[in-house]
Chains A and B, each alone.
Chain A
């Protein structure tokens, strides 16, 4: 496995003493804290469409971000190369945020290893020969088309990356990580005499080539095809407020939107979140315990260290309905005195870190899925979702069901068309009246956007019942 420090000092003309003097430059005008984020990433994508490999793409992304914190102020600059002179220039630019005086010269750092080793990978997908990757896509295409003669098209893509990072802080820490990430995606289109419908599936994580077994590929292929076929029969979705049952896995995007973003420390420190000042108060039914867990092996949202070099962890956000804590980054933790949670993340060296989720899920309850469905007289059973969005300040959030069914007299009946569900974060979870014992995480395809930065995340949920939620159908 790659040693980040050897990787950067070996591949580029830079040494630990250069890093120490660059940290000194970053604090040359004063400032409370500085860090350097070295990144080298290889990003590959492969696209199959109309039964042929249409494009193979590769990008190399490398550079260094320099951050200087002075009180509540942050100065940031970066360079698109790993070169001492260019980093020095960025450090001087970032240093300007502080005006309190002069620095003390180089800052000694010592190398430490991450506490976790969550994604050891035997065989990096990045090292895999292209023909082998192509076989995976072709298998999915064949399997999808074989699912039903009405599947007229499959679009399959594999995106994989391998990122090596090295973080040096003015607190004297030098720490690195090597982070694999891969995502397979398939979209099928079904055509039944001009009635066109689509279905999407896929998965991945911080995994190697062995993750994409034939069984896994066939599962993605059949799942996307199945969803498209189900949609051929879909009726108009209902409109109005009703009982909603969410299936396990990806519907956990509910937590991500309803409470996750609202619990990020930056919004709360500034009093901008609908959850500001609610620690210790009841924000969910006692059936709900929500955690953000950055230390799950091989998960898409997991990290050995966050993008500020701090250990990731499992953070309890809501315990038996009571709000316990926020997701912290370095800046918020410095300003509020809260303990770090290892949630300082960034998209790349071009971006400042901020508090972000990792894998966010609700713990199992005691109910049984079938029992929950039997208890609903008229409602919606939603099992697959697209994206969601939240207004942090008023708490209103939406998420879009892409596969859902009516529940009538305790039975799952007709499939319905996609619809948006809307709710209010601080009270949505107070309406959770049953939690089943079938927790699962999503397949590993989630990407979260905040302030223009995208980072990979995971979500999870057991089957739950919400007593009342507005469903945005047309009927």
Chain B
């Protein structure tokens, strides 16, 4: 068992052996994963896992170490090596634990633990996966094969203890259901994966709904073709818009800023996007996957407006990046078992607009409705963006024919300024979410 007592002892021992400051994290989780394909269980995985990590500071020098071995001897070695390693790194003025008065004073109950998730029986989980796949396969005779359907659950307990006087512990749950049917017509095949991921079982879309939607998404990809290369307005379906937002995060991550590796360097307080765009990071939404009572350094999480009506208001920071930039942490420290804290988002989203997705499509005379993207073509240093895309071509406000094997490209400065319409269809299926958005023009490259 990893307890607050064990971690407190580790912190005390580290200080005793010479560390100036120490921070211990512990995670224990029970994970379950089942995959069903063509109605039969194909894989079933179950395990309890755990790990302990220790970060120490020695007169401004930093090192970290982690292990899954919690035997007294392994823990003892862990502490000594961490202190010894720290002595050999360089003095880094910005490396420090947060000040005492910044620490969370209580562990807020954000409804992150749903007992129903832990109590779900194996049979029920298999049944959920099976139902999702059945719904997909039953949706249309052209759904001729399946990559399968998966149901996963995790129950997790996380503890953080620091020598600055912080002790915190919270439990959380995750449940996820995904399904990936394959549509076939002639020699061509198209797959679409669709699913949902939530803290609470009751929030999860029903298996049948997910299955039908996955089938719809696979079927609509059939008979896709390339288009000729041209500039055109581009509408991003909400799931594709969410990927744009994930790229945008890299440009407001405090590490990118102090490293001068972001095109948004030095733009705080300036207009960077169309006036309709508001981007928020909120680590305190009830019963959401991106929520937690305290961040990876023990600060109370909060709601941070990153972009408000087109104006860049805040970067997302942890203690280190805040000190580098002369700002205050936004409580976005994330902590893996090993390594110094990083910056991560909580629940990160584009505030919904007023338009229905259909209205947005109807506003386009000739343009591209992007439903999926592929690849990693975003350069945060320059803002240059170029990715593979598929979806539908829009003619006279209507979806005319499916498109694949093309790329879309532009610079994020122009993409942000070119946001013309924002949908009202915001729904969280993970930690980030975006509604449908329309960009005035991007380069679509095909034939």
Interface residues of A (CB under 8 A from B): 43, 45, 49, 52-63, 72-81, 90, 93, 96-97, 130-131, 134, 152-153, 155, 189, 191, 196-198, 237, 239-241, 270-272, 274, 350, 352, 386-394, 396-400, 417-420, 422-424, 470-475
Contact = CB atoms under 8 A, between A and B. Distances in A.
Interface string B221-250: 100001001000000000000000000000
Contacts of B447: 240-241, 470
Contact of B382 (A134, A155, A197): A197
Given A73-B43, A400-B376, A472-B407, A155 B49 contact: no
Contact of B409 (A130, A134, A239, A397): A239
Contact of B190 (A58, A394, A424, A473): A394
A58 B65 contact: yes
Contacts of B411: 474
A473 B86 CA distance: 46
B381 A189 contact: yes
Contacts of A196: 260-261, 265, 381-382
A240 B95 contact: no
B46 interface: yes
Interface stretch (B67-75, B135-143, B307-315): B67-75
B137 to A, nearest CB: 14
A199 to B, nearest CB: 10
A43 B53 CA distance: 13
Given A56-B63, A239-B445, A72 B261 contact: no
A418 B406 contact: no
A237 B379 CA distance: 14
A271 B265 CA distance: 48
A241 B228 CA distance: 9
B229 to A, nearest CB: 4
B338 interface: yes
Give the dominant DSSP class at B's interface: strand
19 contacts: A52-B92, A54-B90, A55-B62, A55-B64, A56-B86, A56-B88, A60-B65, A60-B74, A196-B382, A198-B381, A239-B229, A240-B229, A240-B445, A270-B147, A390-B374, A396-B388, A419-B386, A420-B377, A472-B409
B173 interface: no
B145 A398 contact: no
Interface stretch (B12-20, B34-42, B204-212, B267-275): B34-42
A350 B337 contact: no
A77 B62 CA distance: 36
Contact of A352 (B45, B388, B443): B45
A53 B339 contact: no
Given A196-B260, A239-B443, A350-B47, A59 B337 contact: yes
B375 interface: yes
Contact of A272 (B47, B147, B388, B407): B147
Contacts of A57: 63-65, 338-340
B191 A393 contact: yes
B446 A418 contact: no
B66 to A, nearest CB: 4
B337 A153 contact: no
B182 A272 contact: yes
Contacts of A271: 145
Given A274-B189, A419-B377, A473 B382 contact: no
B384 interface: yes
Given A73-B44, A97-B41, 7 more contacts: A54-B89, A55-B339, A72-B42, A241-B229, A272-B189, A386-B376, A472-B445
Nearest to B444: A239
A475 B48 CA distance: 53
4 cross-chain pairs, A with B, having the tightest CB-CB distances, nearest first: A472-B407, A52-B90, A398-B375, A80-B68
Contacts of A52: 89-92
B43 A352 contact: yes
A53 B376 contact: no
A124 to B, nearest CB: 16
B189 A420 contact: no
A159 to B, nearest CB: 11
B297 to A, nearest CB: 15
Contacts of A155: 259
Nearest to A40: B69
Contacts of A54: 62, 89-90, 92, 95, 340
A56 B189 contact: no
Contacts of B45: 75-77, 352
Interface string B85-103: 1101111100100000000
A470 B88 contact: no
A38 to B, nearest CB: 14
Given A272-B147, A393-B191, A423-B405, A81 B69 contact: yes
B321 interface: no
A420 B40 contact: no
Interface in B388-447: 388, 390, 404-411, 443, 445-447
B68 A76 contact: no
A45 B446 contact: no
Contacts of B259: 49, 153, 155, 189
Contact of A77 (B47, B64, B381, B446): B47
A282 B202 CA distance: 51
Interface in B277-301: none
A79 B411 CA distance: 47
Contacts of A59: 65-67, 337-338
B89 A394 contact: no
B407 A134 contact: no
Most A-side CB within 10 Å, residue of B69, B82, B190: B69
Contact of A472 (B85, B91, B340, B377): B377
A77 B45 CA distance: 6
B366 interface: no
Nearest to A52: B90
Contact of B68 (A61, A96, A152, A352): A61
B356 interface: no
B339 A60 contact: no
B445 A470 contact: yes
A472 B386 contact: yes
Given A52-B90, A53-B89, A393 B44 contact: no
Nearest to B53: A59
B381 A417 contact: no
B188 interface: yes
A74 B191 CA distance: 23
Nearest to A131: B88
Contacts of B51: 80
Most B-side CB within 10 Å, residue of A55, A73, A418: A55
Given A196-B382, A420-B407, A73 B41 contact: yes
B261 A198 contact: yes
A470 B443 CA distance: 13
B145 A470 contact: no
Interface string B298-336: 000000000000000000000000000000000000000
A237 B386 contact: yes
Nearest to B265: A196
A394 B372 CA distance: 13
B46 A58 contact: no
B220 interface: no
A191 B221 CA distance: 44
B50 interface: yes
A387 B376 contact: yes
Contacts of A274: 189
Contacts of B386: 237, 400, 418-420, 472-474
A474 B410 contact: yes
Contacts of B216: none
Contacts of B81: 58
Nearest to A267: B147
A461 to B, nearest CB: 19
B191 A56 contact: no
A473 B445 contact: yes
A470 B47 contact: no
A60 B67 contact: yes
Contacts of A73: 40-44
